[in-house]
Homo-oligomer: A and B are copies of this chain.
């Protein structure tokens, strides 16, 4: 654990700057608007260790894969969100020398990300001999105009002498990805333009051998300064505007950089891109910086109105949950069905920007409750759009049906390791589950019987081919999988996978009864095929130990040495930093919920005894070295009235990044895991469920808090739920009357 920011309910704020924490600071002060986003690197020059990262949603590159020996069925490339052309850098020179906090003496430092308004500010005083100069930065990516990035830099001379100030504001295509497999750079510059106060650069991703699209971006920079505009600079990969002048003692100068960023994702031709750029650039120029800031704050206020969670009596928790929601919404707010939620969003490279099953498993329940249903619908349509890719992936393995990818931008699998790509096929189940979850929560059956059914059939066909019949056991089995617990590979009959596969086959059959005959015919679905699905589901092998009363993680799990985590020398944790991969794989230690993940999905279909026996067996073996793990345990612990355990688990997820709990936040934030703290509060502490079209709550108040409040959307209503020492208060803020269950009893809500 390492905490470099102060506790504050609405801000990520610090008054210190340590060079060794630079990357951590950058991750934590990331900002984004779904369309684009960036780490909190400095605008001005910084010669120390830093990780510049600016990313554009959906702009990616198929990097040549890096495996030992390629085998049939391996993905051909590893897709990654690439660092965009750098439109952020502004070199500030004082008396001819760049300000550089890696070298300069400075004081009065403050860095603050205001989560209420989505604005990142920073200020400090540079000391150069007897001279002192204050720099102040305010920047944001706009949630009001998605293409806009705006930055205001104020330079104030606190000295008794004058200071020469020069500001170089640039757009620079000479960028790289730290995770480039072969140290390649990914941008070619197509054209550049510049005059004294503006610049424009059009760049295109380099060609690739994999038939994936190239992307073109156009960036229009406009600078406003009361300093003298000098001759602009142009090099092969860069344009820059230069301003300079003398700043007298006590005076300040204000500089603004605004950049409009467009990509070929939204425009068919370069001409369209150009025309749109001109128009948007003119449009933003109509507003003052303060007006743009106000629009930004207003946009965020609307989001918070629907989604804020208030924690009373614990500012650490309060800051944690808001930080998580802020970063989630910065990554994805459902405006573009072609985008998804990358595990690190716009905050880092590893797993960056690509789509994982995290979206369906962990993010969907949150967006269902906190945003319009169209947002989740877009997440589902994203998979439907990519169904051809999923059929392709299955075919690559010699299998029928659709195998959704572990990692993708376009539906085609693009991860490296076989033990993940071929084997972590449980993701297919979660993608079907998300359709079920959406239908259950919204009551909207239109999706599941149309586009959703295409997806369910593709998935069912995959499972029907992926199983094999074991003559010895007389049952269907699934060999060669990796379950959610990635600390085991290539296991047989993972209970979670088999259970989900069985459920998928049954669910596809259940929905098949409800769809139009036209749809069934279009999909070529016959009664023979449906009968086969029934037969497989009815005869699916689900490993269980009757004596222990548990579902068995996989065939030979119980043969392991089952020493609980608490009996390990604690200096060996986290295991992934202390143990060889060999030792981890052979150990019984569970990276993230596996059997328990399945129980979580269908929490109301198991008996309390089943839940308790499995929780008590698996939880002591779980090391939670995936950030996706603790929240699921928090919810199940709450369900089992293990309130202390629920709060303990919640605590591991609530401030995971703010406290750098896993010592890896310098690489970027755990965006998809950030849903976990919300899930732990709402599904865990407040016990929210939707059962048979009815919303239910069964809240408790953790003893560490004096109260908590949150809002949710449900079928056209906006509800406020407040839990305090006095009890639970649920209000219908908007929408038609609704009867819900609170602690097992009906409660009729009427809008006030």
Contact = CB atoms under 8 A, between A and B. Distances in A.
Given A68-B417, A417-B68, A490-B490, A73 B580 contact: yes
Nearest to A582: B422
A477 to B, nearest CB: 6
B468 A582 contact: no
Given A479-B556, A489-B490, A492-B559, A68 B71 contact: no
Say how many copies of this protein the assembly contains: 2
A470 B586 CA distance: 12
Contact of A581 (B73, B577, B582, B583): B73
A68 B350 CA distance: 12
B490 A576 contact: no
A72 B585 contact: no
A207 interface: no
A586 B67 contact: no
Contacts of A583: 73, 397-399
A583 B65 CA distance: 21
Contact of A69 (B68, B71, B416, B471): B416
Nearest to A554: B556
Contact of A556 (B72, B182, B556): B556
A580 B398 contact: yes
B182 A477 contact: no
Interface in A52-90: 65-69, 71-74, 78
A188 interface: no
A176 interface: no
Contacts of A576: 71-72
A564 B290 CA distance: 76
Nearest to A492: B556
A555 interface: yes
A418 interface: yes
A618 B73 CA distance: 26
B479 A582 contact: no
B67 A468 contact: no
Interface string A585-598: 11000000000000
B470 A560 contact: yes
Contacts of A66: 66-68
A352 to B, nearest CB: 14
A182 B181 CA distance: 9
Contacts of A473: 559
Contacts of A579: 72, 398
Contact of A559 (B78, B470, B559, B580): B470
Contacts of A71: 576, 580-581
A560 B472 CA distance: 9
A477 B559 contact: yes
B480 A586 contact: yes
B581 A74 contact: yes
Nearest to A416: B68
Nearest to A562: B471
Contacts of A423: 582
Nearest to A71: B581
Interface centre among A68, A71, A182, A479 (most CB of B within 10 A): A68
B469 A561 contact: yes
Interface string A558-584: 111110000000000000111111110
A72 B490 contact: no
A489 B480 CA distance: 9
Contact of A468 (B396, B422, B561): B561
A182 B582 CA distance: 27
A479 B471 CA distance: 25
B472 A559 contact: yes
Nearest to A396: B580
Contacts of A65: 68
A479 B586 contact: yes
B479 A418 contact: no
Nearest to A577: B72
Contact of A555 (B73, B416, B556): B556
Interface in A496-535: none
Interface string A204-247: 00000000000000000000000000000000000000000000
B490 A585 contact: yes
Contacts of A559: 470, 472-473, 477, 479, 492, 555
Contacts of A470: 559-561
A585 B74 CA distance: 13
Given A68-B67, A559-B477, A397 B582 contact: yes
Contacts of A480: 582, 585-586
Nearest to A479: B586
A701 to B, nearest CB: 41
A560 B467 CA distance: 11
Contacts of A471: 561-562
Interface in A533-566: 555-556, 558-562
A608 B470 CA distance: 30
Looking at A78, A472, A576, A577, the one whose CB has the most chain B CB atoms below 10 A away is A472
A582 B492 contact: no
A325 to B, nearest CB: 30
Nearest to A469: B561
Contacts of A468: 560-561, 586
Interface string A468-495: 1111110001011000000001101000
Contacts of A477: 559
A582 B73 contact: yes
A13 B291 CA distance: 86
13 contacts: A66-B67, A71-B580, A71-B581, A72-B576, A72-B581, A182-B182, A422-B585, A477-B559, A479-B556, A480-B582, A489-B490, A492-B556, A555-B559
Given A69-B416, A472-B559, A479-B586, 5 more contacts: A67-B67, A398-B580, A418-B581, A419-B419, A422-B580
The 5 A-B residue pairs with the shortest CB-CB distance, nearest first, are A68-B416, A73-B580, A422-B582, A71-B581, A490-B490
